[in-house]
Amino acid sequence: MFIESTVHLPISLAMFQDVFNMPSSPEVVLRIVLRWTHFVAGITWIGLLYFFNLVNVPVQKGLDADTKKKVNPELLGRALWYFRWGAVITVLAGLAYFAMYTLKGDVANANTIGGGNINLWYVLGAWLTYPIVLFVVEFLLIKKVAALTKDGRVFAVVMLILVAIVTWGLVKFFDSMLTAGGESWASNKTYSIGVGGAYGIVMMLNVWGIIWPNNKRIIAATAGTGPAAAPELARQAFIASRTNAWLSLPLLLFMGTAHGDWVIFGKN
């Protein structure tokens, strides 16, 4: 019976040969792995971001000090571990994918078809300065201008203006850097991921520069393993987390427009 039941197996598998196709080269496998890693890490990171903002913040307001001492070190310590490393993996995988399979193609077109002499790594390095500078400005505002963080709405307006300026600068940057032969070779995918990815880098820097260091001290103080945490640390972490929460919305929009369903920047 077993032989009879398996004799038709090759024929059954052959029916799927036009459905399932193995990757054609190791480069394609790497591309798939990078994209999959980026997605999984990103889901972990952004999912926990929404958990902190939509669930944890309201719940924490109703907990007494004794309950926080019992629950928070384990719960928040574990959640913040996945949160911060999810951010790192998301950004690193995304950077690799952007450089190797998106920006590289536009640079190649500009050089081979447009007759340009554009260096991929120079463009990538110059692009990274935009989110880094934006984070430094935000960091200084949160850490040094306490009056601005008292009202989250005021801070949000200031950040919206800064993000809008940086976004405009990024569009002009790619248009200028990838122009060769009198034509810009920047594709919609480069614009979209270039803008959305910059938001993601700012968000990751918020995690490692403000949210995690502040919460680490707060958790240690709550557990009794560290000195008392300054009262402003919780507010600073909250403002940075809220900034990440609303910044994730245009980030996800731009990541979606990179795939052609909506050509937001008017390029193929």
Residue 227 has what DSSP assignment? P
Phi first, then psi: give them for residue 261, nearest 5 degrees: -65, -35
Mean pLDDT over 216-245 rounds to: 94
Distance CA 19, CA 56 (A): 44
pLDDT digits (tens, 9 = 90+) for 194-219: 999 999 999 999 999 999 999 999 99
Name the domain count of the chain: 1
Instruction: Look at residue 265 and tell me if it is in a domain.
Output: no
Instruction: Look at residue 268 and tell me if it is in a domain.
Output: no
Distance CA 56, CA 72 (A): 10
pLDDT digits (tens, 9 = 90+) for 132-182: 999 999 999 999 999 999 999 999 999 999 999 999 999 999 999 999 999
Q: Cα angle at 172 between 167 and 176, to 5 degrees?
A: 150
Residue 3 has pLDDT above 90, yes or no: no
Range of the domain at 112: 28-257
pLDDT at 81: 97
- Using CB atoms within 10 Å of the CB of residue 58, give its burial: 0 to 12 exposed, 13 to 18 middle, 19+ buried: exposed
Instruction: Look at residue 46 and tell me if it is in a domain.
Output: yes
Top pLDDT among 262 and 251 is at 251
Residue 23 has pLDDT above 90, yes or no: no
Residue 46 has pLDDT above 90, yes or no: yes
Instruction: Look at residue 232 and tell me if it is in a domain.
Output: yes
3-state percent breakdown (helix, strand, coil) of the chain, nearest 5? 80, 0, 20
Q: How many CB atoms lie within 10 A of CB 160?
A: 13
Instruction: Look at residue 1 and tell me if it is in a domain.
Output: no
Q: How confident is the model at residue 264 (pLDDT cuts 50, 70, 90)?
A: confident
Work out the percent of the chain whose per-residue pLDDT is above 90: 81
The helix or strand, by DSSP H or E, that contains position 157, with its residue range, turns out to be: helix 152-177
The tokens of 87 are what?
């951010």
Instruction: Look at residue 19 and tell me if it is in a domain.
Output: no
pLDDT at 14: 58
